[in-house]
Chain A
């Protein structure tokens, strides 16, 4: 961590948060597309990964992201009751509640992780959510990089 920060300082480069957004194909990804076609901007720090359903997001992916230096991870799915696969987002909700409290425990604050419901018609909500989430991550600053202790000497 310490080393990286100095590296940034040496290059005199502004720190930019790295945010991974998992979006379900049916609602949120389409909502992100709508945000785009409505030209509702949000920070470029957000990079979207398309998944068929929010319930496809394995906790391992999130851990991996934090291990690789992500500063925030957001999962977007259909509104409860509107899941294309009927029940997928309910699983997401429960799984992430568990995962996020565990992450909080090991030092990844709750503000860095979020589950949000965005429908295909909510381009404005998508953009607003991303703006708000990025602002939150910016206020939290750089994240502690998760590491595998077994690889340390």
Chain B
């Protein structure tokens, strides 16, 4: 059990009377690359945002190393610094350069020295291939480049698990590749990742677990071979067939 990072138990979330998530249960082990797939509006993003406490779950538990972070009085900021998040719309800080974006969290939250933060940030910017652009402002680089910076920014915090919320959905088709290849490299290095995605090829080839969500519940989960190769539920088959048509 020492390898379990996150354990989600009976998680539910409603917006008003609209129930978005119902009784979600799953665990994230160290080194897992879990893809969450499903149609738009099935609650994938809400689930991810609940895990990062950007949304407050209506009920249920989120156990981070056995401690329930969804309860009252938990220091959400401290927890979030261990759980990185990459957003669909990048959410870079527009008033900072690429390098400053990757240093801000280290300096302000982890209280590292500037030199240390800079060296660490450069390491990850190098990894995502954005080292040449350290002096650029977010408005000066392309969407794919922004997302790579956002990944480096999250990595620079040395998170235990990295959440991706549809990281390629806001990108032009020719930029999807550059972001996916960075994510693939991360997965191969053993980074624990939780990815909400519409990229079925990524879910099938890169992830170790696939979770299929439908209308706020986990409909089916398992290895990619199980879910893609031999889906048990009719909903899953219907969903996947839409991606096979090409």
Chain B binds chain A? no
Chain B residues with CB under 8 Å of chain A are none
Chain A residues with CB under 8 Å of chain B are none
